[in-house]
Amino acid sequence: MMILKKIIIFIKKYWVAILVIVMLLMVLKSPQKDKNISPGYEVVKDNGPLTTQGDNESKTMYPEDIEKLLDTHGNDYIYAQKMNEFFQDYPWYKKIPIKTNDYLIIYDFDKQQFRIRLKIDPNSSEDIKNGVIQRAVQDIRNIGVEGEIIYYTVF
């Protein structure tokens, strides 16, 4: 009991000094990280730690920083990659729909065909229908579609 009383008296007498020492130890023990992650930095992985390089300076990136970047920009990056792949497969897609007074052209991904919606009278002669369809097919070729053009028509 006597030792416990001495400890309590010591703590009461020097509590400020003890608090300062504990705080200093906490600050000195915590790792120093550079939390500044700026856009425009390229992530570089070499045999050492993960670093970023840009604008003639280098910064270390810690795993939690990388996770934060992936959380905020990872989906954007994946989306951009998928869109690039899509436009490599369908480079003409940005140029549709094609709208004229006689027809509207879209691409039907379910059927993997172009859909030509004819805006002419359904009772028009076959020559008129065929002429409009031929102009629509030519417009499809003009946007860069190569090879056989597969399509269907609706009114």
- Do residues 149 and 134 share a domain? yes
Angle subtended at Cα 78 by Cα 77 and Cα 83, rounded to the nearest 5 degrees: 95
Query: Would you say residue 37 lies in a domain?
Result: no
- Do residues 21 and 51 share a domain? no
Q: Per-residue confidence at 24, pLDDT binned at 50, 70, 90?
A: confident
Q: Residues 6-17: what's their mean pLDDT?
A: 78
- Do residues 129 and 99 share a domain? yes
- Do residues 50 and 4 share a domain? no
112: left (phi over 0), alpha (psi -120 to 50) or beta: left
Residue 148 φ then ψ, to 5°: -70, 135
Query: Would you say residue 107 lies in a domain?
Result: yes
Query: Would you say residue 146 lies in a domain?
Result: yes
> Domain span at residue 59?
42-89
Q: Residues 142-150: what's their mean pLDDT?
A: 94
Question: What's residue 13's pLDDT?
Answer: 80
- Do residues 58 and 105 share a domain? no
Q: How do residues 79-138 score in pLDDT, each as one tens digit? A: 788 888 889 999 999 999 999 999 999 999 999 999 999 999 999 999 999 999 999 999
- Give the C-alpha separation, 111 to 56, whole Å: 52
Question: How many domains does the chain divide into?
Answer: 3
- Do residues 98 and 136 share a domain? yes
Give the range among 5-14, 29-38, 78-87, 132-141 with minimum mean pLDDT.
29-38
- Do residues 118 and 149 share a domain? yes
